[in-house]
Amino acid sequence: MSVLRIAIQKSGRLSESSRSLISECGIELEQMGAALRAPASNFALEALFLRDDDIPGYCAEGVVDAAIVGLKVLSEQGADVETVRPLGFGKCRLAIAVPKSAQYDSTASLNGLTIATSYPNLLQRFLDQAGVRASVNTISGSVEVAPSIGLGDAICDLVSSGSTLLGNGLREVETVLVSEAVLIRNKNLSVEKTATLQKLLFRVDAVLRARKTKYISLNAPDEAIPDIVKLLPGLKSPSVLPLALSGWSSLHSVVAEDDFWEVIDQLRAAGAQGILVFPIEKVIV
Ligand code: PRT
Ligand code: ZN
């Protein structure tokens, strides 16, 4: 089988989660010290550790076959690659912020301002779409201090919790792009490498689905089962097993992480007791 070469960020916010994903797919990387590449011992894959800014270009050129990278790096560079999956980690947004005291009503308030950013292309595209005429000042780092040192009236930078903006006396006013880590691939992979990528994707999907779901078991009086089954659609429908105590059953199913607490409240109201919740490692449908 052809070895798939995949790039991940060397050191930074996406590194650990990228490595965890590969490891949860059951793929063991044999990294020697600080080596920039690591073959997998049990899968036709080799990982390359790169700076995030280099990843989209290398993938487009075919230096690597696939990669994990932030959507905003990819969109800023406009590299010619195919986005295969959003991966659910590295979530952040590219946002415009103004000093707390500045008057701001709508995008029209940006007219005539100078906006400091490290993402000039994404910002310019946003301004063009909004019909705003502002000047873009490209700076490479510490964008959040720009207004206080006279380098701009506003900034366009990445935000996750918002505490950096707050600490610099800035207020978020517009979202330019919502970003997360994505899996990308080169557009001209050989048939063999495409097959290896499909095999990897099968595992990635099982891991991502598992991260979004929990396994749940509970006890309920038999008359409550119809109501509880409606609340627990599961993968097909819940398993129902009789308890030793007559008139009672145990139900087993999966619930989505997103509406988990809501469902728990409804299950209790429907008569469920002894609710146990377990993490799931893989979900294969
Ligand atoms: O060395 P290399 O070039 O590879 O790394 P880098 O320094 O360019 O990137 P890195 O490791 O900082 O970020 C990698 C990826 O993580 C980014 O491309 C994003 O997709 C994602 N990510 C998620 C973030 C953030 N959250 C984030 N909050 N990247 C940067 N930030 C910064 C932001 O620039 C700002 O300075 O964190 C600050 C804001 O954080 P809050 O929590 O205070 O809002
Ligand atoms: Zn970078």
Tens digits of residue pLDDT in 133-178: 999 999 998 999 999 999 999 999 999 999 999 999 999 999 999 9
Q: What is the pLDDT of residues 91-142, one digit of tens each?
A: 999 999 999 999 999 999 999 999 999 999 999 999 999 999 999 999 998 9
Residue 258's pLDDT band, with cuts at 50, 70 and 90, is confident
Q: Give CA–CA dist 280/216, Å, rounded.
A: 10
* Rounded distance from Cα 48 to ligand 1 centre (Å): 20
Mutation probe of ligand 1 site: the residue of 10, 92, 170 with most atoms within 8 A of C-beta: 92
Give strand pairing partners of 172: 97
How far is 157 from 170, CA to CA, in rounded Å? Answer: 11
Rounded to the nearest angstrom, the distance between the alpha carbon of 13 and the centre of ligand 1 is 6
Ligand positioned closest to the Cα atom of 95:
1
Query: How many Å apart are CA 72 and CA 77, to the nearest integer?
Result: 8
Stretch 11-19: mean pLDDT, rounded? 97
* CA-proximal residue: ligand 1, atom 16 (nearest): 13
What pLDDT is recorded for position 141? 87
C-alpha 53 to ligand 2 mean position (Å):
5
Let me know: does 255 contact 212? Beta carbons within 8 Å: no
Please give the CATH number for the structural domain made up of 4-88+181-210. Answer: 3.40.190.10
In CATH, which of 1.10.287.110, 1.10.260.40, 3.10.510.20, 3.30.70.120 is domain 213-279? 3.30.70.120
For residue 11, give the ligand nearest its CA: 1
Whether 279 shows a pLDDT value over 80: the answer reads yes
User: Is the Cβ–Cβ distance between 137 and 151 less than 8 Å?
Assistant: yes
**Ligand 1 centroid from CA 158, angstroms:** 7
- Residue 266, token pair as written in the block: 């409804």
Numbered ranges of CATH 3.30.70.120 in the chain: 213-279
Residue nearest to atom 33 of ligand 1 (CA): 158
What residues does ligand 1 touch, defined as CB less than 6 Å away? 9, 12-14, 51-53, 70, 72-73, 90, 92, 157-164, 179
| Token reading at 187 | 């557009």
DSSP bridge partners of 276 = 217
pLDDT in tens, 24-60: 999 999 988 888 999 999 999 999 999 999 999 999 9
In the chain, which residues fall in CATH 3.40.190.10?
A: 4-88+181-210, 92-179
Residue nearest to atom 18 of ligand 1 (CA): 70
Q: For the domain 92-179, what is the CATH superfamily, name and number? A: Periplasmic binding protein-like II (3.40.190.10)
Q: How far is the CA of 159 from the centre of ligand 1 (A)?
A: 8
CB 259 within 8 A of CB 267: no
Pocket test for ligand 1, best of 16, 77, 139, 160 (most atoms within 8 A of CB): 160
Output the residue whose Cα is nearest ligand 1's atom 26.
92
Q: Show the tokens assigned to 192.
A: 């063999």
